[in-house]
């Protein structure tokens, strides 16, 4: 969310940033609303000054026993009170109008974000000062099969451990029931990721609520623009929503707070179920587990200063990459173009894991720098060196999506007989088990 004062002072840059995202200019319309707000405030202040002056003169008139003047002044004060009440109502209305207009405007991209209309404009990223050659040395190689690799749902159903039919009877489409070793493997993946981020990457583990209020959803940008993607329920005379991502409660841990600068950066992680209606995804990825209404994800959130935001973004990307490296999964990193970034992001990296069953890359993590966009919506600040409160910068990223990691492990570690090898990093979480579905 933007500060209208900044927009007034930087109208051309604001509209240019929106143009890079494919959005129409907004500064003129926003400034016009702000002009009306300022005019109402000026008229309100004038009426309040007149009322105060008239009220003072009433006492003077009564002291002089000038009842006629006192009565006239009292009538004037009464009229001014009505004017002030009307002005305060008008001020609230125009402020709500301005807030509503600002709340649906996406964040502005950083200068180094490539321009493009959609995912076709994304570019592969090899790290700061990186090259394709150095990336290839770090990233696990693509597996080579001497048979036609299957997709995860073919493998899971053949094992009798992945059931979409019974899930549909229970809950409808886009749900799955995992059983036996596959259920344990998914649990192992989540625990492995949590342990990695907390013991090696310095994140504090959080177990947040899975139901959040509108204010929290507004703070991270899910409301009002993406209401149709939420699962909402009435609660205590209001409503709550199942979290679409743990980014919502984790980022809101610092809402309406002024943090000591020495406490930054704050780094939080959580393993939670996530719930999305997938309202705009009709017909996409209807087979298997790629696009579910309910899925587990390990989320990372960082709260930092403006000066450290870009460096923290690179650090968070490296944390997510480490997950895939430890699992031996081939992947690439894409820098999203202006037309493919999320609503609240200034810059986003997507990690795309190789799925041999589909013979393509699919997103498994998205790591975003949001600047002060969310902090303004949450009123989350820190006390700078000069003693003044300033807005923090927020970042979020998947570390990583557990369901998609399960898919990737199944497809990349499959054997011709339909069994699945377990990556070394996960075997301690599987009781030492090295294979799922191996024939004796």
pLDDT digits (tens, 9 = 90+) for 288-323: 999 999 999 999 999 999 999 999 999 999 999 999
Active site includes 368?
no
Residues 257, 158 share a domain: yes
Choosing from 21, 37, 267, 276, the catalytic residue is 276
pLDDT bucket at 279, cuts 50 / 70 / 90: low
Contact by Cβ (8 Å): 262, 230: no
Q: Is the pLDDT of residue 440 over 60?
A: no
Cis peptide before 376, with omega less than 30 degrees from 0?
no
Choosing from 213, 315, 404, 411, the catalytic residue is 404
Q: Domain for residue 128, yes or no? A: yes
Any long-range contacts for 47-50 (C-beta under 8 Å, 24+ apart)?
Answer: 47/80, 47/83, 47/84, 47/87, 48/84, 50/76, 50/80
Contact by Cβ (8 Å): 195, 182: no
Spell out the residues 6+ positions from residue 131 whose beta carbon is closer than 8 angstroms to its own: none
Any long-range contacts for 289-293 (C-beta under 8 Å, 24+ apart)?
Answer: 289/152, 289/153, 289/162, 289/176, 289/403, 289/404, 289/406, 289/407, 290/362, 290/404, 290/407, 291/174, 292/174, 292/175, 292/176, 292/403, 293/171, 293/172, 293/174, 293/175, 293/231
Q: Which domain holds residue 95?
A: 4-104
Domain boundary among 50, 77, 104: 104
Residues 213, 358 share a domain: yes
Supply the pLDDT for residue 439.
57
Q: Domain for residue 176, yes or no? A: yes
CATH code of the domain containing 225: 3.30.930.10
Residues 276, 252 share a domain: yes
Residues 146, 46 share a domain: no
Q: Domain for residue 114, yes or no? A: no
Q: Domain for residue 270, yes or no? A: yes
Active site includes 92?
no
Active site includes 363?
yes
Choosing from 51, 184, 267, 366, the catalytic residue is 366
Spell out the residues 6+ positions from residue 175 whose beta carbon is closer than 8 angstroms to its own: 164, 167, 168, 292, 293, 294
The three-point CA angle 331-151-193 to 5° equals 45
Q: Domain for residue 48, yes or no? A: yes
pLDDT bucket at 426, cuts 50 / 70 / 90: very high
Which of 62-71, 207-216, 357-366, 388-397 shows the lowest mean pLDDT across its residues?
A: 62-71
Average pLDDT over residues 423-437: 97
Give me the number of domains the chain comprises: 2
Q: Domain for residue 113, yes or no? A: no
Residues 145, 71 share a domain: no
Q: From the annotation, which residues make up the binding site for L-serine?
A: 245-247, 276, 299, 396, 398
Residues 174, 270 share a domain: yes
Average pLDDT over residues 324-328: 98
Residues 132, 96 share a domain: no
Residues 220, 337 share a domain: yes
52/369: higher pLDDT = 369
Q: Is the pLDDT of residue 139 over 50?
A: yes
Q: From the annotation, which residues make up the binding site for ATP?
A: 276-278, 363-366
Q: Domain for residue 110, yes or no? A: no
Q: From the annotation, which residues make up the binding site?
A: 245-247, 276-278, 299, 363-366, 396, 398
Residues 84, 159 share a domain: no
CATH code of the domain containing 8: 1.10.287.40
Active site includes 346?
no
Supply the pLDDT for residue 66.
84
Cα separation of 235 and 219, whole Å? Answer: 19
Say what the pTM is: 0.93
Q: Domain for residue 123, yes or no? A: yes
Supply the pLDDT for residue 129.
78
Choosing from 363, 390, 415, 427, the catalytic residue is 363
Residues 169, 77 share a domain: no
Residues 191, 47 share a domain: no
Spell out the residues 6+ positions from residue 282 whose beta carbon is closer than 8 angstroms to its own: none
Choosing from 187, 255, 291, 415, the catalytic residue is 291
Residues 187, 235 share a domain: yes
User: pLDDT tens across 239-253, in order?
Assistant: 999 999 999 999 999
Active site includes 321?
no
């Amino acid at each position: 969310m933007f500060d209208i004062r900044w927009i007034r002072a930087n109208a051309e840059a604001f509209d240019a940033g929106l143009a890079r995202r494919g959005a129409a200019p907004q500064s003129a319309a926003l400034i016009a609303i702000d002009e009306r707000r300022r005019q109402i405030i000026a008229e309100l202040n004038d009426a309040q000054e007149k009322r105060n002056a008239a009220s003072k003169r009433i006492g003077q008139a009564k002291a002089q026993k000038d009842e006629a003047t006192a009565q006239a002044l009292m009538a004037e004060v009464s009229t001014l009170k009505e004017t002030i009440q009307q002005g305060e109502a008008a001020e609230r209305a125009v402020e709500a109008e301005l807030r509503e207009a600002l709340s649906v405007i996406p964040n502005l991209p950083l200068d180094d974000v490539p321009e493009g209309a959609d995912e076709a404009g994304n570019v592969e990223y090899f790290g700061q000062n990186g090259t394709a050659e150095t990336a290839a040395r770090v990233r696990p190689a693509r597996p080579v099969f001497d048979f036609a690799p299957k997709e995860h749902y073919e493998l899971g159903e053949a094992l009798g451990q992945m059931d979409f039919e019974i899930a549909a009877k229970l809950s409808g489409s886009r749900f799955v029931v995992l059983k036996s070793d596959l259920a344990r493997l998914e649990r192992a993946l989540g625990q492995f990721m949590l342990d990695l981020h907390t013991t090696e990457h310095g994140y504090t583990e959080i177990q947040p609520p899975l139901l959040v209020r509108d204010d929290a959803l507004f703070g991270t940008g899910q409301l009002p623009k993406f209401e149709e993607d939420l699962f909402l329920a009435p609660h205590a005379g209001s409503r709550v929503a199942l979290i679409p991502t743990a980014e919502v409660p984790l980022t809101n841990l610092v809402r309406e707070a002024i943090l000591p600068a020495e406490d930054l950066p704050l780094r939080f992680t959580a393993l939670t179920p996530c719930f999305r209606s997938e309202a705009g995804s009709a017909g996409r990825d209807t087979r298997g587990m790629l696009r579910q209404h309910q899925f587990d994800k390990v989320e990372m959130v960082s709260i930092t200063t403006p000066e450290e935001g870009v460096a923290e973004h690179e650090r968070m990307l490296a944390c997510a990459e480490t997950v895939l490296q430890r699992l031996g999964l081939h992947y690439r990193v894409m820098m999203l173009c202006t037309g493919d970034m999320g609503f609240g992001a200034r810059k986003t990296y997507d990690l795309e894991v190789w799925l041999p069953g589909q013979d393509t890359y699919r997103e498994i993590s998205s790591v975003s720098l949001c600047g002060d966009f969310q902090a303004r919506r949450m009123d989350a600040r820190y006390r700078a060196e000069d003693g003044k409160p300033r807005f923090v910068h927020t970042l979020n990223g998947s570390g990583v999506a557990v369901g998609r990691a399960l898919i990737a492990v199944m497809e990349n570690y499959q054997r011709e007989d339909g069994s699945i090898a377990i990556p070394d990093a996960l075997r301690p979480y599987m009781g030492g088990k090295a294979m799922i579905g191996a024939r004796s």
